[in-house]
Structure 1
Amino acid sequence: MTQTVFLFGPLCDAKLAEVILHKRATGQRALLHDYRLGMVGPSIMPCLVPEPGASVDGMVVAVDAPALARLDIFFGLHSAERFGVVVEGAGTKMAALAYHVGRQPSDPVSTGWTKDQSQIMHLATAEIMGLADRAPIAALHARWPMALAHAASQVRARKGDDPAQLRKDWTRNDVELVHGAMPYAWYFAVAEDDLRFRQFDGAFSAVVKRAGLVMSDAVTVLPYDPVRDIVMVIEQFRFGPWLRGAGNAWLLEPIAGRVDPFESPQDCALREAQEEAQITLRADALMSVGHVYPSPGAITEFLYQFVALCDLPEGSDGVAGLDSEAEDIRSHLVPFDRLMALIASGEVQNGPLLQSAYWLALNRDRLRADAVPQDGG
């Protein structure tokens, strides 16, 4: 027995529908009257919004029970539920099922996704639906935000500049994936690949097994007041040191956070500064320290590191963080010389803070000279 389902907006894309349904999606064009297309942020999920006189262009597909169950899983990620509609196609009206997202659309006039948004949604959906037959629903819901973030990281990586002046100009064609798996998936995930890679003699290696923690791109921000020669660092509990067995698992760090799927690293830096330290930074005051893989042998995380020029008056430190993420973050105003002393003592154990501090040490005189008028200037 099959059911007729109305797909709409960018969900009509044949490749995306095939990923969701796990079979080729063939259907016919149809119109749903008295609705318009909206979009629910921040996941940019298209949704149907009642509006007399409007109409939504889409397609109807006949799906069997397994495909309908997969649609339920996909739409369930967005808290959507089935409801009955009457659509018009090929001059006739027919009953169909559609999915209603209960949340208020953030974009009432959206008609589709940008190229980058489409790539992100395709990649994230492929990851989640690849897990759908074996992972519990709770795991899929927990994984979806990070699947989007990882997909966005993949899109940025594909567009990124990969200079090769000293290293050889390798490409992804120099790696052969024999078998890929994701044996663990929750908020984070573990990928396990059997692969071969090209060696320096030109031959491919034997098949090797590699595993890595699938994360997303992130930013770090070290606020610096060049007039007062003061930085702001934060202190918070970190699970990694705790898991390692450290006696004190609270670290001194720069402001940091994961880049949301549909924001830029620069916008993320500004947002995280507000959330973690309640300070407002300017985009044009962000100076790149470098873009790096902190531990490329084991994790996919890629860091966009910044020093941010700003005013850090007395009293701008304190305790902040998002209650929704159980954050309890204390900020400290630290003179630059004391920061370097903390590094020398071993108290600073956070890699990005060390890198940003050393970058600042190299550029500090110039930044201070630009910030403080010189005699006769």
Structure 2
Amino acid sequence: MVAVFLYGTLQHAPLFDAVAGCAPAGRPASLPGHAVRAVVGQAFPLLCVDDGAAGAEGLLVDLPDSAVAALDLYEGAFGYTRATRTALCVGDDAPVAAQVYLPADNAWETAGDWNLDHWAASYGAMSAHAVSEVMAIARNPATPDAARVRYPMALARADAHLRAQAASAPARLRRQPAPGDIETVHFDRPYAYFFGVEVSDLRFRRFDGSYSDVARRAAFIMADAVTVLPYDPVRDVVLLVEQFRYGVLARGDRNPWSLECIAGRIDPGEAPQTAARREAEEEARLILTDLTEVSRGYPSPGAVTEYLYNYLALCELPDAAAGVAGVEGEDEDIRSHIVPFQTLMDLIASNEVENGPLITTAFWLALNRDALRRTALSPGA
């Protein structure tokens, strides 16, 4: 058995179990001369040398070699390596030589104290779900790189899963599912990177009460996303964005530059409206305040888990708002256009606009445009 001192997110039992396959059964301990600090721009903490601190609090656990190997894989994905330090068990003056995972020097900037309970409330369930996916794939091959490159998108997919679990799921007309309605015979996750792929052999209850034969189903597992169409009701113009889209190219379309709404995935822990405002600033340099939800739902539920929140944003759109923007680090090259509402409808009619969320939002705007313009143009509006 190997003594390991845990001081950060691995103290959270569900996350530790997802990594090591066991509970972090241990005893409270401290690491003298150290402190646990928050990291700027990250949810996980940093262990810092601080001779004036009371000592970093954590857990001292005894683990088999297999669990330590799993921790090496997980911590290695974030650039942490094991070192030996002396820990003190609470209520026991006897020092213990323990393994501690330490970051590379000057890897991150610290930002005050870090709190496990606060982290668990915001990120605990999401992180445990993401790590269970990442570790299953990272073990084959067993390299930290395999875990590191998959973790950010796995976290976004986990956030979408938890959002779906928390939704009301009304069933006024459709079937109300009951335990046993779906039986999974075999499950596989052969791929995970920007999106995941899951394959299940399953049976489901038919409407006559019997079970189907075993059917194979596959799905692309994706993060939730937002779209937003900026509209100026005074000028009666909208802002469209144009960018190269690989999916269009992969289908064989002769023109892979697509006219769309502003759009992007929801980051882990981010609210949909916050994501819409962030994407508008990144893609079109617009600061949006007034958002109206047009619709939400699955654009292709047969094989894609992506769930879209579609918004209309009322704002001022001078001609100067058009231009080229995007996040350079994400290889984005996005051109925005200011066009009259009728031009948008003409582009849809000619099939130059073939983007589903944009078409949905445009038709919603067509139904509500007169009322929006009356309000905007009325005295005192």
Alpha-carbon contact 1:39-1:46 (below 8 Å) kept: yes
TM-score normalised by structure 2 residue count:
0.92
C-alpha separation in 1, matches of 2:318 and 2:49: 50
Partner of 1:119: 125
Displacement after TM superposition at 1:186 (Å):
2.3
- Size of the aligned set, in residue pairs, is 373
C-alpha separation in 1, matches of 2:137 and 2:40: 24
The residue identity in structure 2 corresponding to 1:132 is A
Partner of 1:187: 194
The residue identity in structure 2 corresponding to 1:198 is R
Work out whether 1:11 is the aligned partner of 2:10. yes
Displacement after TM superposition at 1:244 (Å):
0.7
Work out whether 1:49 is the aligned partner of 2:51. no
The correspondence of residues 135-146 of structure 1 with structure 2, limited to 5 A, is 135=141, 137=143, 138-146=145-153
Partner of 1:96: 98
C-alpha separation in 2, matches of 1:153 and 1:254: 21
Work out whether 1:273 is the aligned partner of 2:256. no
Alpha-carbon contact 1:45-1:78 (below 8 Å) kept: no
C-alpha separation in 2, matches of 1:117 and 1:110: 13
The correspondence of residues 197-208 of structure 1 with structure 2, limited to 5 A, is 197-208=204-215
Alpha-carbon contact 2:29-2:88 (below 8 Å) kept: yes
Aligned residue among 223, 227, 233 for 2:234: 227
TM-score normalised by structure 1 residue count:
0.93
Moved more, 238-247 or 186-195: 186-195
Work out whether 1:168 is the aligned partner of 2:171. no
C-alpha separation in 2, matches of 1:227 and 1:120: 43
Displacement after TM superposition at 1:24 (Å):
4.2
Displacement after TM superposition at 1:278 (Å):
1.0
Partner of 1:335: 340
Is the alpha carbon distance of 1:363 and 1:106 closer, same or farther for their aligned partners in structure 2, counting shifts above 3 Å? farther
The correspondence of residues 309-320 of structure 1 with structure 2, limited to 5 A, is 309-320=314-325
Moved more, 26-35 or 107-116: 107-116
Alpha-carbon contact 1:3-1:62 (below 8 Å) kept: yes
Is the alpha carbon distance of 1:281 and 1:135 closer, same or farther for their aligned partners in structure 2, counting shifts above 3 Å? farther
Moved more, 92-101 or 346-355: 92-101
Alpha-carbon contact 1:38-1:105 (below 8 Å) kept: no
C-alpha separation in 2, matches of 1:232 and 1:373: 23
Give the SS at the match of 1:221. strand
Partner of 1:159: 166
Moved more, 229-238 or 26-35: 26-35
C-alpha separation in 2, matches of 1:349 and 1:50: 56
The residue identity in structure 2 corresponding to 1:96 is A
For structure 1, list consecutive stretches of 5 or more residues without a partner in the other structure: none
The residue identity in structure 1 corresponding to 2:70 is R
Partner of 1:133: 139
Partner of 1:66: 66
Give the SS at the match of 1:232. strand
Alpha-carbon contact 2:240-2:336 (below 8 Å) kept: yes
Displacement after TM superposition at 1:365 (Å):
1.1
For structure 2, list consecutive stretches of 5 or more residues without a partner in the other structure: none
Deviations along 1:165-211, whole A, 9 cap, x unmatched? 22122257522222221111222221111222121112222221111
Partner of 1:84: 84
Alpha-carbon contact 2:12-2:124 (below 8 Å) kept: no
Displacement after TM superposition at 1:107 (Å):
4.6
Work out whether 1:358 is the aligned partner of 2:363. yes
Deviations along 1:16-61, whole A, 9 cap, x unmatched? 2222112344322211223222333655123223332232221122
C-alpha separation in 1, matches of 2:212 and 2:40: 45
The residue identity in structure 2 corresponding to 1:77 is A
Work out whether 1:306 is the aligned partner of 2:305. no
Displacement after TM superposition at 1:109 (Å):
2.4
C-alpha separation in 2, matches of 1:224 and 1:173: 47
Give the SS at the match of 2:162. helix
Deviations along 1:304-324, whole A, 9 cap, x unmatched? 110111111121110111111
C-alpha separation in 2, matches of 1:17 and 1:26: 10
Alpha-carbon contact 1:231-1:335 (below 8 Å) kept: yes
Alpha-carbon contact 2:138-2:146 (below 8 Å) kept: no
Displacement after TM superposition at 1:277 (Å):
0.8
Moved more, 113-122 or 141-150: 113-122
The correspondence of residues 34-45 of structure 1 with structure 2, limited to 5 A, is 34-40=33-39, 42-45=41-44
Partner of 2:112: 108
Give the SS at the match of 2:134. helix
The residue identity in structure 2 corresponding to 1:120 is M
C-alpha separation in 2, matches of 1:26 and 1:296: 42
Is the alpha carbon distance of 1:110 and 1:370 closer, same or farther for their aligned partners in structure 2, counting shifts above 3 Å? farther
Partner of 2:27: 28
The residue identity in structure 2 corresponding to 1:101 is P
Is the alpha carbon distance of 1:68 and 1:114 closer, same or farther for their aligned partners in structure 2, counting shifts above 3 Å? closer
The residue identity in structure 1 corresponding to 2:251 is R
Work out whether 1:238 is the aligned partner of 2:240. no
Give the SS at the match of 2:304. coil
Partner of 2:330: 325
The residue identity in structure 2 corresponding to 1:167 is R
Give the SS at the match of 1:108. strand
The residue identity in structure 2 corresponding to 1:123 is H
The residue identity in structure 1 corresponding to 2:245 is R
Moved more, 314-323 or 75-84: 75-84
Deviations along 1:313-344, whole A, 9 cap, x unmatched? 12111011111111110000011010001001
C-alpha separation in 1, matches of 2:242 and 2:349: 18
